[in-house]
């Protein structure tokens, strides 16, 4: 088990009921230096809605009493939205679906960042958000998946911009966009058939925690995979 900090710390997992969220919860519960773990999800927190900023603000206010937090992990996101999977061509683009992809993968997480970043502790701390390799503009060699790619690229820009601002007050803050690999989950199930290496959630999370442990406070955000390897923006 990789412990993130040398001293005791407090952690908060948003999206704690999903496959990766549950794996983060389990790993942090097994870390003896994690002295408090707060969990946020629709299943655990009635009224919490990623697309309702009022509910996000209310949940952050409710969590503040147990802070400040040295680690905040946001595992929210969506690939298939209301039964519709990622678009493979320009002809498949629909304004409504694109808007929903941005709402779930960029705007909602930006509101989480807005309201939960103030709960971070001074000194060494981490705000980590699940992203995706397909959100890398320079790594896009196959095309397709328009809404998912674009919304994750937008998310990455939001994280980078927020990191620059937040590090002016706390240079020891690490803001990290995490690529978890293709993990065995409901999100990836429709697309897992052709995947050479399908990860168990616990293995993905173990890798991401090790990557977080080894990152140095940068100027701006990190974008890394579950093996700790940097991904080009």
What pLDDT does 184 receive? 83
Instruction: Give the span between the Cα atoms of 125 and 207, in whole angstroms.
Output: 18
What pLDDT does 217 receive? 78
Q: Does the model's pTM come out above 0.85?
A: yes
Q: Helix, strand, coil shares of the chain as percentages rounded to 5?
A: 40, 20, 40
180 neighbors 203 (Cβ within 8 angstroms): no
Q: Determine the 3-state secondary structure of 173 from DSSP.
A: strand
**Which residue do the tokens 């890394």 mark?**
224
Q: What is the pLDDT of residues 109-121, one digit of tens each?
A: 999 999 999 999 9
What pLDDT does 197 receive? 77
Domains plus CATH for the chain? 9-225 (3.40.50.720)
What pLDDT does 134 receive? 93
What's the order of all strands across the beta sheet hosting 71-74? 34-40, 9-14, 71-74, 125-130, 173-179, 222-225
What tokens does 168 get?
A: 């002016």
What pLDDT does 189 receive? 63
What tokens does 1 get?
A: 């088990």
What pLDDT does 4 receive? 84
Instruction: Give Cα separations from 189 to 156, 174, 185, 194, 201 (angstroms).
Output: 24, 31, 6, 11, 13
| Residues of the chain with confidence (pLDDT) below 70 | 1-2, 186-196
């Amino acid at each position: 088990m990789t412990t993130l900090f040398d001293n005791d710390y407090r952690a908060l997992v948003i999206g704690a009921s999903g496959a990766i969220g549950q794996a983060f919860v389990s790993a942090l519960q097994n870390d003896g230096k994690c002295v408090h773990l707060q969990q946020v999800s629709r299943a655990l927190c009635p009224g919490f809605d990623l697309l309702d900023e009022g509910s996000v603000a209310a949940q952050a206010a409710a969590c503040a009493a147990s802070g400040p937090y040295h680690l905040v992990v946001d595992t929210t996101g969506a690939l298939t939205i209301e039964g519709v999977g990622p678009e493979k061509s320009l002809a498949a683009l629909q304004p409504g679906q694109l808007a929903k992809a941005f709402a779930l993968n960029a705007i909602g997480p930006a509101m989480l960042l807005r309201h939960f970043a103030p709960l971070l502790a001074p000194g060494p701390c981490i705000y980590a958000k699940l992203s995706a390799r397909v959100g890398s503009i320079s790594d896009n060699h196959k095309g397709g998946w328009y809404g998912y790619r674009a919304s994750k690229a937008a998310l990455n820009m939001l994280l980078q911009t927020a990191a620059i601002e937040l590090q002016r007050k706390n240079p020891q803050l690490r803001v990290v966009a995490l690529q978890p690999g293709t993990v065995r989950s409901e999100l990836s199930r429709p697309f897992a058939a052709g995947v050479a290496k399908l990860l168990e959630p616990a293995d993905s999370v173990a890798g991401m925690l090790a990557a977080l442990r080894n990152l140095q406070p940068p100027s701006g955000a990190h974008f890394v995979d579950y093996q700790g390897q940097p991904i080009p923006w």
